[in-house]
Amino acid sequence: MYHQDHLKNIPKMNDLAPEAMRAFWAFDRLAVADGAIPVKYKELIAVAVAVTTQCPYCIEIHTANARKAGATDTELTEAAIVAAALRAGGAITHATHALG
């Protein structure tokens, strides 16, 4: 189901909904642009979010971008562990609802 080849359909999406896609790409670029938070950290955040949303495309793209920005394997691993801890914490706190 998940093949990088599917990403070749993005130009078709750009053609089918040009205004919305232009807005998306502009937002996407600005979201990870250097600012108060450096690009490396923004890409590590993106990797953590991608791990929790389980998007293989995002994991691959943002891991590569994080590496280009200087992220190490240790930093990538720690970002993924933070994401895992938050997912686990959400399960624990939501479990309290089962107890009344």
- As annotated, the residues of the chain forming the CATH 1.20.1290.10 domain(s) are 35-99
pLDDT digits (tens, 9 = 90+) for 64-81: 999 999 999 999 999 999
**61-70 contacts, C-beta under 8 A, 24 or more apart:** 65/32, 65/39, 66/40, 69/38, 69/39, 69/40, 69/43, 70/40
For the segment(s) 35-99, the CATH number from 1.20.1290.10, 2.40.37.10, 3.90.1150.10, 1.10.3720.10 is: 1.20.1290.10
pLDDT digits (tens, 9 = 90+) for 12-24: 999 999 999 999 9
pLDDT digits (tens, 9 = 90+) for 49-59: 999 999 999 99
Q: Which pLDDT score, from 0 to 100, does residue 100 have?
A: 82
The model's pTM is 0.89
